[in-house]
Amino acid sequence: MTLWTEICDLVTRNQVTRLAERLVTLSEEERAELGGRLPGLVKELRRVRTEQVRAEHPDDFEEMASWEVGDLLDELAGALLLTGVGVITGPAAAVTWMTGRDVNRRWAEDLDVGQVCRVAAARPLEWRRDVAVRLAQRVRRPADRIAPLAVALLRESGAVPPDHDPLVAAWLSAPSVAGDPLTPVLLPRVFTADGAGRALRDERLEPRPTRWLAAAARELPRDQVLDGCVSRFLRGGEAQDLRFFVRLHTLLDPTPAESAPRLRDYLRLLPSAPGTVAELAAGQVRGAMPLDHADLVEAVDALTFRDEAKFAATGLRWLDQAIRATPEAAADFVTALTTAYAHKSFDVRNRAVELTLKYADLFAGHTEEILEGVRHLPADLGAKLAERFGGESPVEEPPARKEFPPLPGLQEARRFPEPSITPDYHERWVGQERWLAAFVAGIAEDRAKLRRKLRFHVEYDQGHWRSRDVRLDPGDWQAALSAELVTPGSVPEPPPIEPEKFWDGPDHSVIVRAPTPGGDPDPDERMAELDVDPARNAAMGAGEQVPPPNSDEPLVQVTVVFAPPWLRSSMPGELSEHDEWRRRNHLPHPDHVSPPHDFLLHRYAELAEALRDGTLPPVLLATPTWMSGHLDPDVLADRLETCAAAGVEPPPADLAQALLRLPRGRHPAAADRAAKIDSDAARSAARWLAGDGMADPECGHVWRHMVGASMVDFGDGEPEHFTEVGLQPVLRVTAPTGHRLIDEVLLRRPSDWAVDESIGTLRAWPAMLPSHREVVAVNFLPFLLRDHWGTWTAPAELSGLEIAQGPLGESTAVILAFLLSGGVPGIIPLILGMATRGDLPAEAIGRQLALVLRRTWRETRPAIAALTELAEAGAHHEVWRILRTLLAEMLPREGRRITVTHADLVAFATDVARWTGARGEIPVIARFAQSRRTIRFIHECKRLHTHLTRPTP
């Protein structure tokens, strides 16, 4: 084997360790020979893999070859780079090879930096230094694949790092080493290198300074660090890029003497630096007081100019202190005061007015400037200044008339599409219903033709569903039904449960259960069967000291298992008739699946059983007539006649689903038709059609939270601290229908924890109960506080509730409130549709939105933004109904803290009240409006109360 063949073989087999061992032994002549041939290796690898793909996939080899070649180069990238380091003689050529697209692969595994450095160490020192510098200059960002290698080669070779900003960020992100030779050169550059602050943003002061904060404070002179931080602040940038330097400055905690020479720089930071920087600068300025008067005026002007209320308040506080100290200089602060008049914070504006009135005599020569600023103030504050300084008292202008678009028109009812055995990828539940209808009808019309259509799908099906004890996915049921039709008997029922055997092999565990009538044998008998010494057995049973086992006695592990009542129904030999039917038909335990999902699986299971038994009906009863899920009563009568003519009773779940899909109310004509059909299903349907259908169950939920290890009810309020929150569904049948699958399966109370396997069927649920949508909402509740459901799919899955029938209550309201407060895309059109139909539970949404904002991680401002969007889309009257209830539940009770978001909420409510012309006192607003406090929240309550109690024009 030649040297070239040996190296190629090691590369293509990706033997990196052996390749490194061979490369370090090469002579310079061997390196020169191999280096010239190396580029041809990649071309050969591409050619060979392309020909392999062409031979295996001649029809579409081009696209597949591109993927296959890419995967090959990703796999061999480390070996190819290592080879280049070991054999290429020119430093520039080596770096070009290392960073080329065939070697520096985006999806390749991380480089083995230690192995590369080991191979590089065999090259001359000047070659290593030249390569290290050139490679460092190719770094573009810390995450570059070559960045850790560039840093390692600089360290190993002792090369002087180039002046290259991305290198600094890469070095900061690389693993640290003791006595790093790069530290003296690169650490001072963190103050000037772009990207260094971003790389250091996660450094922390607490509980103790982390790596780079400690290193900068330890390794660099204090003056250099302070100058570096301040210069970095003056360059500007985003807050996260300056976070490290703020913390480093805080760590050094400069003395007033150290801050004094930099005071002008701190003053320059006050007007527009990011908040954390401005706060630091304000602290340094405060520490340097008393200031030169001109500097103090500059500082006050800068602080009152900022948007943040806390900085403006600080500026006004300094202003107050300065005027008290030097009243003759009060005129210098008029600009700061009038700037504060226009601040977005009511508290700042109010404080500025108070200070103006407090020192009114000192501002006598500046009346014109003050009155000019009055136009920026609310009417009540402006009136105070106008009265004192002699101007016109401003009058609050009525808001400009706001035009709103009309609510969207009612959507025309869409008919359900015709049955089809072809998958429908747009609406999964629609495709499933169409498939079921086409499957049943196709067998009745032409079984052989349907078998031919499905044979292809059966042959290419991978059959994963066959290994599952339960089938939770409707797709698995379709595969099973197809397989049974194409090859009868290929999908057998599970065999009966065999008696347990405890002596099958030498390595086993024994479960000893307490004897039950007709159940397991006595444990003593079982121990005897295992040849356990009777004396030892008796000692174990009596709780006495157990003698050691005999040498020939088998080792036995005895486990006593307690089975709670809910589990005993699934234990061998104790299954009820219905539970045994579930087991035979691959249905899950009822506690392990949501009720609507369980009901849907019953429909598939009974069709699979009917297919095996040859008792399939000629047509399904439950296929919807309309996209809402509703079924035309006359269509149901037609299908009942078809089944009766064929002498087949429809399966129970199919009948139950058909009845649930009937529109609300009585249908006498269809009832008369059904009464004349000679079948049990028709007689049941006739009674349903002649009556009022299913009575609305009692629906709702209970808010709960974790105390210790248990969930307890919230009650009427909230404790001061609580952690995990949940919603316990409430669902009670008020009048049983007499159909077991409806009363016991579909209408059982959902568990208050969600089941992942149900996620894929949620969109079908509104169409399963199109006349009782609040029942569907109750079943959605276990998924609600799982944020990914609300973010990804909820509006689409809830859309069926918009076009369905039946009252909407608190459960629908809490779902809409939660999604609305999160600004989930698609929720606004859904609520608009409900508003158009006139059945939006606005007051309930207001109640539940208050609870969502108080008890979950949802926040008030995003909720206000969503309500604003909803109002501007035409639902402003509905938004006012929501707000009227929300205010009563959301505003702080006695002794609770008033926040900025409370003021924002009341201000928004005032806007909506004006848009809608709302009138009528709200007691909680009236109570706050009587307060003599001057905070913004009270001001906003007074504005709203004044509007609501004003006579209607």
pLDDT at 512: 43
* Cα–Cα separations (whole angstroms), residue 786 to 370, 749, 752: 54, 19, 12
Whether residue 66 is found in the same domain as residue 211? no
Residue 166 one-letter amino acid? P
Q: What is the mean pLDDT of residues 668-686?
A: 97
Q: What is the torsion angle, in degrees rounded to the nearest 10, for the CA atoms of residue 275, residue 277, residue 283 and residue 288? A: -140
d(CA 168, CA 141): 10
pLDDT at 708: 82
Least confident of 61-65, 317-321, 499-503, 726-730: 499-503
* Cα–Cα separations (whole angstroms), residue 877 to 399, 888, 947: 17, 18, 16
Whether residue 766 is found in the same domain as residue 854? yes
pLDDT in tens, 187-218: 999 999 999 999 999 999 999 999 999 999 99
**Which phi and psi angles does 121 have, rounded to 5°?**
-65, -20
Q: Which residues contact 400 (CB under 8 A, 6 or more apart)?
A: none
Residue 572 lies in a domain: no
pLDDT at 553: 67
Whether residue 445 is found in the same domain as residue 468? yes
Domain count, the chain: 6
Beta bridge partners of 79: none
Residue 849 lies in a domain: yes
Domain C-terminal end among 233, 253, 288? 288
Whether residue 678 is found in the same domain as residue 818? no
Q: Which residues contact 147 (CB under 8 A, 6 or more apart)?
A: 139, 141, 166, 170, 173, 174
pLDDT at 794: 82
Cβ pair 276, 243 in contact under 8 A: yes
pLDDT at 715: 83
Residue 827 lies in a domain: yes
3-state secondary structure of 588: coil
d(CA 356, CA 129): 69
Place of tokens 């009832």: 671
Q: In the chain, pLDDT over 90 holds for what percent of residues?
A: 69
Name the H helices within 105-253: 113-120, 125-137, 147-157, 165-173, 183-186, 196-199, 211-219, 222-235, 239-252
With 80 as the cut, is the pLDDT of residue 78 above it? Answer: yes
Predicted TM-score (pTM) of this structure? 0.70
Cβ pair 285, 266 in contact under 8 A: yes
Least confident of 121-125, 462-466, 482-486: 462-466
Q: Interior CA angle at 409 toward 407 and 411, to 5°? A: 135
pLDDT at 519: 42
pLDDT at 791: 67
Q: Which residues contact 734 (CB under 8 A, 6 or more apart)?
A: 695, 696, 697, 698
Q: What is the mean pLDDT of residues 27-52?
A: 90
- Element holding 731 (H helix, E strand): strand 725-732
Whether residue 257 is found in the same domain as residue 296? no
With 80 as the cut, is the pLDDT of residue 717 above it? Answer: no
Whether residue 847 is found in the same domain as residue 886? yes
**Mean of the per-residue pLDDT values for the chain?**
89
**Which phi and psi angles does 548 have, rounded to 5°?**
-65, 155
Residue 949 lies in a domain: no
Least confident of 495-499, 611-615, 811-815: 495-499
pLDDT in tens, 519-577: 444 556 666 666 677 777 777 666 667 777 776 666 655 554 444 443 444 444 456 78
With 90 as the cut, is the pLDDT of residue 427 above it? Answer: no
d(CA 275, CA 252): 20
With 60 as the cut, is the pLDDT of residue 872 above it? Answer: yes
With 70 as the cut, is the pLDDT of residue 508 above it? Answer: no
d(CA 915, CA 400): 9
Cβ pair 379, 394 in contact under 8 A: yes
Q: How confident is the model at residue 399 (pLDDT cuts 50, 70, 90)?
A: low
Q: How confident is the model at residue 503 (pLDDT cuts 50, 70, 90)?
A: very low
Q: What is the mean pLDDT of residues 327-343?
A: 94
pLDDT in tens, 755-807: 666 667 899 999 999 999 999 999 999 988 876 666 667 888 888 899 899 99
Domain C-terminal end among 265, 288, 311? 288
Whether residue 456 is found in the same domain as residue 326? no
Q: Which residues contact 746 (CB under 8 A, 6 or more apart)?
A: 595, 596, 598, 599, 656, 660, 768, 769
Whether residue 486 is found in the same domain as residue 339? no
Whether residue 863 is found in the same domain as residue 794? yes
pLDDT at 529: 64
Residue 74 lies in a domain: yes
d(CA 194, CA 474): 55
Q: What is the torsion angle, in degrees rounded to the nearest 10, for the CA atoms of residue 28, residue 33, residue 36 and residue 42? A: -110
Q: How confident is the model at residue 400 (pLDDT cuts 50, 70, 90)?
A: low
Residue 863 lies in a domain: yes
With 60 as the cut, is the pLDDT of residue 518 above it? Answer: no
Whether residue 794 is found in the same domain as residue 860? yes
Beta bridge partners of 510: 558
Domain C-terminal end among 890, 905, 924? 890
With 70 as the cut, is the pLDDT of residue 395 above it? Answer: no
Cβ pair 653, 599 in contact under 8 A: yes
Q: What is the mean pLDDT of residues 321-335?
A: 94
Residue 327 lies in a domain: yes
Whether residue 227 is found in the same domain as residue 278? yes
DSSP-derived secondary structure letter, 412: P
Least confident of 129-133, 570-574, 900-904, 935-939: 570-574
Between 44 and 882, the more confident residue is: 882
Q: Domain residues for 346? A: 291-397
d(CA 631, CA 617): 18
Residue 502 lies in a domain: no
Whether residue 489 is found in the same domain as residue 450? yes
